[in-house]
Structure 1
């Protein structure tokens, strides 16, 4: 398309980006309206639009972005939102780098980088990229630097290709060493070269004899089809797959297979080689050797015949496959429930937060009204029950945010003794035993304590309030047979066991015990989520849970957690007494207006200065424009280009760093990995009380 309207300064401009630049309202930026642009600026834009290379101009100190069609393809999902945006807002993950570029070029300097390594967010995921970057100043009509012209050429594919080539060369040298050793051992059966471009196979006389080529065959043009017919039918697809992997990704070629001899028997060989690539990263040559491994393979096969029972192997494989299929079905069911639960929990917890926040504010404002206080207390209790139900659903679906630490079962038992006795009553005897040398585990300590407490309360109910509960821990090594189909690998584990002397369960009840909402208790006496929550927590922690029961004798629940080799974590310090806010300024980032309003009022009553933003895009704009804050209190899941995790990343690189406190009803793994929080990530789950909010704010601010 052509844009020839001189009144808009677009004469001679062409392409999609020309249309977007002409249609953009530049009066909102420091550049001013398009028809007021200087001649140097308009000429530079015209030159840039005509370039086939990705180019972007950063104008003024904020670096307002103007770019061409090629750059819009590079920008991906950020186009067209980058147009007219300050560069630090458009690319927040490399804001410091771009700030240095603008400062340097506006001072008259130039910059260039070859294969510059950067980490960019693409579709919200950090991705390692390499680029050639060239920056030079753009002068205004008075000859003073007023902007930066940037040429951006991504070289990621070239760099990765070079890395692969280097890997192939290293493998080739290793293959040469193996050839030398084979020659010294007298085991070499021949060498070959496959010219990939010409698709021609050549080899030496020993190679031709090994494959039984006819006498007098031209060694420089051997039939590949003939060679394939000499390979055992069971090995052909394997050999082809190894060759394909070497050609496509530069992987070293090592394939053991059988070659048909003239007498009808088969010879075991090792084919070893490596694909060579040209400067363009194209495969062009494939040399290799054949090595005799027949004696070794014969010995291995003899050993297998004596040590393995084929019929038992088949039975084991069938059993393992059935167990794996059942595990897959269960996992798919949990994933489906988890996806539904996560979305419901986020919206449900937001509603609960609005209700809880306003109830707490009402209670404070009507401190002397006994009727109001009574009704508010009853309503808050209902909110807490709703929050507990949401938390239990997330636990079953393995979506709860965990804060794991290294601890021993003895530490867990020591902290649970008094709580268990108080919760179970004096008519229940609790016996606890753990070996002195019990291995440590890496789990969320609070969640493990809750799981044991849940199991103990179930045991108490099964014993009608009287009996004995045995709580024990032990070191145990699980073999592959035990782990088959259970979603865990063989190795060292710590077993935590809760056993009771209750009425026990029949087989049909035991089979459904972990299903959500399944309960044998009368209506109103249980949600059926207790055991489901324990199951989800153990699985999310990388462990396994089993339950056995005999009617009339009792029930035994065994939790298995992987042994941790991490160093022991120090004990959690005693929380400090509540302190009211002082001079600190808090930026509240929340897209739900009702939640944001109640949070702001609670914080202001605590004495904090409060700024607000409806999403992370607005918050980042405020911060880049110089808003000074001591803490960012942000919801995790919000709409917009910039994520809450981007705000946290920005806060970490400031000097001094800006503290960040997240809040959410469901994090969706935006700030966690497998729903496990890192030690430096602070999360306040919704719904929260004013006391919880004040305590967490002080904890994060106090470092």
Structure 2
């Protein structure tokens, strides 16, 4: 009978795992069928199964696993699938570790590990485990290592317990250190114990000092009422409430309050403690500690105040943002209306211009029939109303062309008194109050009069035609503090017009919409809703501000703020209501609308002028270049074609002699209109215009040009006097004439080639020497090797700007005279002021240019007083 494993004692194996081992099919493994196991293998398995500690035997090169009941508990969810499995497949997460174990022990070595940390998936999820592991080889019947015996003792609980204990000890040490540090630094003001039964409080020496009692009293105990006398009266109720809660619930006691010190001031402290209870559950002892928290509380109060301040600032910022957003919406609304109005104003105003012109000529040619005159007058009034509607829209959008002049408020209101009396009627009493020494303002006088008249009429309507209207004019200085709280006003000096009525007033919702275009509370047919809108746009365009205050039942006050102007009042011309006579000069009309052009031709022809016509700038330029004698260029601002009106006017100014220019338009866009004002030296006749206005304006432009030409002729230098290197200067104070240097050398900087060539010819005709450059960079290169007397430069250049060029050259040549040219004139944006620099508007008057370049240089302070120098 063959030898079997049962003969070696397999039948005596005990336990659950013994049954599983016997039942397992070992044939596919290196162990072979159990009946053929070697005696050494059977003995090893017997040892494993009988051990109370977790043992596993790894047999063969693959480490087939045979383990006992204790190891099955350790294996968790991996049991019983580990039985008979190669160890590397059974524990794949630690396969490399087990491969090292197998290689070492099958070679005859041993391994041991203390608290070895591994990550195992025993129950379907990774977990950190710690184990003591011992590995030793197991020999077969031949005495050679054939397997590995592993003792596995899990130490996870002990490791985690030790770590928790270490952390607890570290925490205790840190707590003790902090407590000792607090005691050493004086943060702890003392310890105390309240004997609840006797109602006495005992404490250490620090506690005694804190509550202003002697050390002996504190050690013996003082009544709780005596100790409480040091607590701030406002905090007593809080301390009592927290004490009662601690004695009733047993929860930790913690309260912050103030105690009075010997010098009378109060100190913030924090009391911490916990009530102790006897065997019957009754409170009998209450120990605690007193901590100084004064600095923290003061810091918290400061932080709270800062937070409140920040919250207020945030609220103010949010409010300011809301105001800014409302202003933005208003600006966008104005921009939209302006764009819409500007888009149609030019073509729209051409229509009433044709109608108005033909009505005026019809009135001149028609019989004196009352019926015809009445019908023509009615049609003319309708044309005026249509033109005023477009003008009001442009005013609201701040796109109307203004002609500002220095006005005296007192004289302006005095001149309006008769007009106001007629417009308001006998039942309205006008009370005019003027402040002392009123400041002048720089405004378009006609627009200001219209604005004041409009506000007065609104006041009359609000009073239903009867009451007192007060008109005030005062000097007001706005401070920085007031400017910060007042929307739209900056600090400075203002002249304020205030119109107050005693009418019905406006409710808040009406006041909020008062400036909206087309919003009106008047009945249909009694108002367009553009009056206040027009006033608002005009004031803003003039650099001012408008405020409306109103109380229902008490009336409304509208204030118009205009910046103070220190210049002298502009002298007014004589009565312009009388239409001047015509003339015999030749006028070139440039107008793209055929009907408007025909109407203008007939009106000027009736006045006696000879007329040439062109439908665009290109055709007009041909006239200018043809040599045909032309006395005045009368051109629309907005025209089709390559040559625009501004360029055409510039070409006309460069002619010899220069040709005066009169612009006309229903909407100027931004061609001759910048910063809310017409460019300096520009004369504009707005469409639709009356024949008398046309006659008066044409005559005024021709008259001004004649005088300017005469003044220029008087100042011209005799060409024969240029034959020597020196010429005689005007007689000086000593009565003698002194020689002066040869003509000044001008450095001209102009990027437009035709303009540059014309300017060279013009400057040379003044008897000056001229060197030209197309850019600031080229001018700097020329100035590096030569000194010039005058720099004449356009502000807008490719690359470096004209004002930047001026600053650089003045740094190297302080005596250089600088003249800058710009379509914005004195309003040109040149950054920081450049003392002594003259700003000329484009297009410029030839006589003015001659005077600027050839006159003896004036002192900077004199120029500043004349408004010619930037400062």
Looking at structure 2, the residues matched to 366 and 576 of structure 1 have their Cα atoms a distance apart, in angstroms, of 23
* Deviation sequence 1:270-302 (CA, Å, 0-9, x none): xxxxxxxxxxxxxxxxxxxxxxxxxxxxxxxx9
Looking at structure 1, the residues matched to 504 and 583 of structure 2 have their Cα atoms a distance apart, in angstroms, of 58
Residue 571 of structure 1 corresponds to 572
Matches for 1:201-216 after TM superposition, within 5 Å: none
Residue 430 of structure 1 corresponds to 430
Looking at structure 1, the residues matched to 577 and 430 of structure 2 have their Cα atoms a distance apart, in angstroms, of 33
Residue 830 of structure 2 corresponds to none
Aligned to 1:498, what secondary structure does the other structure show?
strand
Residue 445 of structure 2 corresponds to 445
Matches for 1:380-399 after TM superposition, within 5 Å: 380-399=380-399
Looking at structure 2, the residues matched to 356 and 554 of structure 1 have their Cα atoms a distance apart, in angstroms, of 40
Report if the CA contact (8 A) 1:669-1:675 is conserved: no
Looking at structure 2, the residues matched to 555 and 485 of structure 1 have their Cα atoms a distance apart, in angstroms, of 19
Aligned to 1:429, what secondary structure does the other structure show?
strand
Matches for 1:96-111 after TM superposition, within 5 Å: none
Matches for 1:84-103 after TM superposition, within 5 Å: none
What's the CA shift for 1:576? 8.6
Residue 153 of structure 1 corresponds to none
Looking at structure 1, the residues matched to 370 and 482 of structure 2 have their Cα atoms a distance apart, in angstroms, of 64
Looking at structure 1, the residues matched to 624 and 357 of structure 2 have their Cα atoms a distance apart, in angstroms, of 27
* Deviation sequence 1:211-246 (CA, Å, 0-9, x none): xxxxxxxxxxxxxxxxxxxxxxxxxxxxxxxxxxxx
1:346 pairs with 2:346: yes
1:697 pairs with 2:698: yes
Matches for 1:600-679 after TM superposition, within 5 Å: 600-679=601-680
Structure having greater relative contact order (Cα 8 Å, sep ≥ 6)? 1
Question: What's the TM-score, normalizing by structure 1?
Answer: 0.54
Matches for 1:5-154 after TM superposition, within 5 Å: none
Residue 377 of structure 1 corresponds to 377
Looking at structure 2, the residues matched to 638 and 484 of structure 1 have their Cα atoms a distance apart, in angstroms, of 46
What's the CA shift for 1:623? 0.3
* Deviation sequence 1:613-657 (CA, Å, 0-9, x none): 001111112101212111111111001111111122223333332
Residue 580 of structure 1 corresponds to 581
Residue 333 of structure 1 corresponds to 333
Report if the CA contact (8 A) 1:668-1:675 is conserved: no
Residue 364 of structure 2 corresponds to 364
Structure 1: gaps (5+ residues): 1-301
Looking at structure 2, the residues matched to 360 and 580 of structure 1 have their Cα atoms a distance apart, in angstroms, of 16
What's the CA shift for 1:499? 0.4
Looking at structure 2, the residues matched to 518 and 627 of structure 1 have their Cα atoms a distance apart, in angstroms, of 53
Looking at structure 1, the residues matched to 370 and 407 of structure 2 have their Cα atoms a distance apart, in angstroms, of 46
Report if the CA contact (8 A) 2:542-2:676 is conserved: no
What's the CA shift for 1:386? 0.8
* Deviation sequence 1:334-377 (CA, Å, 0-9, x none): 10110001122111110111111122222222234554333222
* Deviation sequence 1:254-273 (CA, Å, 0-9, x none): xxxxxxxxxxxxxxxxxxxx
Residue 33 of structure 2 corresponds to none
* Deviation sequence 1:393-448 (CA, Å, 0-9, x none): 11111111111112232122111111111211122111112223222221111111
1:401 pairs with 2:405: no
Aligned to 2:633, what secondary structure does the other structure show?
strand
Looking at structure 2, the residues matched to 567 and 310 of structure 1 have their Cα atoms a distance apart, in angstroms, of 48
Matches for 1:197-596 after TM superposition, within 5 Å: 309-478=309-478, 479=480, 482=483, 486-575=487-576, 577-596=578-597
Aligned to 1:611, what secondary structure does the other structure show?
strand
Looking at structure 2, the residues matched to 500 and 457 of structure 1 have their Cα atoms a distance apart, in angstroms, of 10
Looking at structure 2, the residues matched to 332 and 548 of structure 1 have their Cα atoms a distance apart, in angstroms, of 24
Looking at structure 1, the residues matched to 316 and 492 of structure 2 have their Cα atoms a distance apart, in angstroms, of 20
Looking at structure 2, the residues matched to 439 and 579 of structure 1 have their Cα atoms a distance apart, in angstroms, of 35
Report if the CA contact (8 A) 2:483-2:490 is conserved: no
Q: CA RMSD in A?
A: 2.2
What's the CA shift for 1:485? 7.6
Report if the CA contact (8 A) 1:327-1:485 is conserved: no
Q: Residues 333, 428 of structure 1: CA spacing in aligned structure 2 closer, same or farther, 3 A cutoff?
A: same
What's the CA shift for 1:534? 0.8
What's the CA shift for 1:319? 2.7
Residue 684 of structure 1 corresponds to 685
Looking at structure 1, the residues matched to 604 and 473 of structure 2 have their Cα atoms a distance apart, in angstroms, of 45
Looking at structure 1, the residues matched to 502 and 371 of structure 2 have their Cα atoms a distance apart, in angstroms, of 47
Looking at structure 1, the residues matched to 514 and 527 of structure 2 have their Cα atoms a distance apart, in angstroms, of 13
Looking at structure 1, the residues matched to 585 and 662 of structure 2 have their Cα atoms a distance apart, in angstroms, of 14
Q: Residues 393, 483 of structure 1: CA spacing in aligned structure 2 closer, same or farther, 3 A cutoff?
A: farther
Report if the CA contact (8 A) 1:327-1:487 is conserved: no
Report if the CA contact (8 A) 1:346-1:664 is conserved: yes
What's the CA shift for 1:309? 4.9
Report if the CA contact (8 A) 1:586-1:611 is conserved: yes
Report if the CA contact (8 A) 2:403-2:443 is conserved: yes
What's the CA shift for 1:527? 1.0
What's the CA shift for 1:450? 0.8
Report if the CA contact (8 A) 2:483-2:489 is conserved: no
Looking at structure 1, the residues matched to 350 and 459 of structure 2 have their Cα atoms a distance apart, in angstroms, of 35
Q: How many residues align?
A: 399
Looking at structure 2, the residues matched to 508 and 472 of structure 1 have their Cα atoms a distance apart, in angstroms, of 27
What's the CA shift for 1:679? 4.9
Looking at structure 1, the residues matched to 421 and 555 of structure 2 have their Cα atoms a distance apart, in angstroms, of 20
Report if the CA contact (8 A) 1:324-1:484 is conserved: no
Aligned to 1:563, what secondary structure does the other structure show?
strand
Q: Residues 483, 687 of structure 1: CA spacing in aligned structure 2 closer, same or farther, 3 A cutoff?
A: farther
Residue 259 of structure 1 corresponds to none
Residue 190 of structure 2 corresponds to none
Looking at structure 2, the residues matched to 648 and 436 of structure 1 have their Cα atoms a distance apart, in angstroms, of 45
Question: What's the TM-score, normalizing by structure 2?
Answer: 0.44
Looking at structure 1, the residues matched to 549 and 518 of structure 2 have their Cα atoms a distance apart, in angstroms, of 20
Q: Residues 513, 576 of structure 1: CA spacing in aligned structure 2 closer, same or farther, 3 A cutoff?
A: closer
Looking at structure 1, the residues matched to 486 and 331 of structure 2 have their Cα atoms a distance apart, in angstroms, of 11
Looking at structure 2, the residues matched to 571 and 435 of structure 1 have their Cα atoms a distance apart, in angstroms, of 23
Looking at structure 1, the residues matched to 529 and 578 of structure 2 have their Cα atoms a distance apart, in angstroms, of 37
* Deviation sequence 1:14-68 (CA, Å, 0-9, x none): xxxxxxxxxxxxxxxxxxxxxxxxxxxxxxxxxxxxxxxxxxxxxxxxxxxxxxx
Q: Residues 673, 605 of structure 1: CA spacing in aligned structure 2 closer, same or farther, 3 A cutoff?
A: same
Residue 82 of structure 2 corresponds to none
Residue 206 of structure 1 corresponds to none
Report if the CA contact (8 A) 1:324-1:486 is conserved: no
**Range 338-347 or range 478-487, more displaced:** 478-487
Aligned to 2:439, what secondary structure does the other structure show?
coil
Looking at structure 1, the residues matched to 391 and 407 of structure 2 have their Cα atoms a distance apart, in angstroms, of 24
Report if the CA contact (8 A) 1:505-1:549 is conserved: yes
